Amino acid sequence: MLTTNKRRIIGLFSFVLLLLISMWMSIIYGYTDTSYQTAIEALTNKNHSNEHIIINTVRLPRALIGAAVGASLAMAGALMQALTKNPLASPGIFGINAGAGFLIVLCVTFFQVSSLQTFTWLALIGAALAAIIVFVISSVGKEGMTPLKLTLAGTAVATLFASLTQGLLVANEKALEEVLFWLAGSVSGRKLEMLISVLPYFLVAWIGSFLLAPKVNILMMGDDVAKGLGQRTNMVKLTVAILVVLLAGSSVAVAGPIGFIGIIVPHIARAFVGVDHRWVLPYCTLIGGILLNVADIGARYILMPQEVPVGIMTAFIGVPFFIYIARRGILK
């Protein structure tokens, strides 16, 4: 663990470097390997050669989206884990991704929406809806919201939304074609405009989360202590929940439901910097971006020349980790 602030800052810069390297590799490697020089040329002084077009329209958006989505999912996970005091909390497990996906498919089926802006809004509303349902279900009962109840309710809600989505897709094959690319959970084939259309939400949520970090630290001490220290805990919780919905919903709007990033990354970040969220959140941002880009690069090679949706890669990495945490016990 990095104990002093100086070491943490050095760590932060190393991760920035790693993130840049991972994005760089994401641009260069793939079915068409390009070189370092070509990539530079394509970015600074583009001509209309095949390689330049690939880099500018396919690889660059992919690397940027990978970084942004990975960062947001990881932050959403960290905030959820702090809010619920549950080490298994993440947008995927809690049905938030599935809720966003369901609402998009529902509206594509019945209202023929196709604009990106509407997709984003729908994803946000769906994410909020799922979050509310899960929170309500898991807080009924005598002892209120326990980590276990939250996890199980989330899984049930996720299953429900997933199967409803499946039903809609079977009923409407046209919609299937439109949303299948998106539903698999992938950062490939997205245009840069998709990222730009959700960037405002991302930016608001990122900055908001960083600003809220000290309050999250206090919240982590438990409701009673936080109240005793003069915090309006319900206000803070609500804000955190809104941030989570913004982060997860926008990520789903761009890349579809990608699981497990939100579980793994906060644990890695905490292993480096402990539980101080002023450090955990920035580390999550960087590590999340790195992990998603690395998984995405792996997804290109595992079945060459075919590409695997990155959601599958993250599941392969994430499940062993999930099981490890589940074995260690979530009630601590």
Partner 1 sequence: MRKYIPFRIGKQISVLMDKKAVIASFILLLITVAVFLINTGSGEMYISPVDVIHTLLGSGSEMEEIVIYSFRLPRIVIALFAGMSLAVAGAILQGMIRNPLASPDVLGMTSGAAVAVVSFLALFSDKNGSLTISIHWLPLGAFIGATIAAFLVYVLAWKKGVSPIRLVLIGIGISALMQAFTTLLMLIGPIYRASQANVWITGSVYGVSWKQVFILAPWAVLLLLISLISVRQMNIQELGDELAIGAGVSLQKQRLFLLLLSTALTGGAVAFAGGIGFVGLMAPHMARRLVGSSFGALLPTAALLGAVLVMLADLVGRTLFAPLEIPAGVFTAAIGAPYFIYLLYKSRNS
Question: Residue 155 Cβ, how far from partner 1 at the closest point, in Å?
Answer: 5
Radius of gyration of the chain (CA): 20
Residues 49-79 as b/e (b if ≥16 CB within 10 A, e otherwise) read eebbebbbebbbbbbbbbbbbbbbbbbbbbb
Tell me, by CB under 8 A, how many residues bind partner 1: 42
107: left (phi over 0), alpha (psi -120 to 50) or beta: alpha
What's the full length of the chain, in residues? Answer: 332
Question: Residue 242 Cβ, how far from partner 1 at the closest point, in Å?
Answer: 24
Question: Residue 134 Cβ, how far from partner 1 at the closest point, in Å?
Answer: 10
Query: If you count DSSP H runs as helices and E runs as strands, how many of each does the chain have, helices first?
Result: 14, 0
- For residues 209 to 248, the per-residue mask of contacts with partner 1, x marking binding by CB under 8 A and - elsewhere, is ----------------------------------------
In the bound state with partner 1, the residue whose beta carbon lies nearer, of 149 and 277, is 149
Point out which span in 19-27, 47-55, 228-236, 300-308 binds partner 1 (CB under 8 A).
Answer: 300-308
Q: Is 133 exposed, middle or buried (0-12, 13-18, 19+ CB in 10 A)?
A: buried
Task: Report if residue 98 touches partner 1, rule: CB under 8 A.
Answer: no
The strand pairing partners of 303, in sequence order, are: 306
Task: Report if residue 153 touches partner 1, rule: CB under 8 A.
Answer: yes
Q: Locate all alpha helices (DSSP H) within 172-275, ordered by sequence.
A: 173-183, 192-220, 223-228, 233-255, 261-273
Task: Report if residue 170 touches partner 1, rule: CB under 8 A.
Answer: yes
Give the residue, chosen from 132, 140, 211, 304, that forms a contact with partner 1 under the rule CB under 8 A: 140
Task: Report if residue 323 touches partner 1, rule: CB under 8 A.
Answer: yes
Task: Report if residue 132 touches partner 1, rule: CB under 8 A.
Answer: no
Cα(263)–Cα(79) distance, integer angstroms: 11
Question: Residue 329 Cβ, how far from partner 1 at the closest point, in Å?
Answer: 8
User: Which residues form the interface with partner 1 (CB under 8 A)?
Assistant: 88, 93, 137, 140-143, 146, 148-149, 151-153, 155-157, 159-160, 163-164, 166-167, 170-171, 184, 259-260, 303, 306, 308-309, 311-312, 315-316, 318-319, 322-323, 326-327, 330
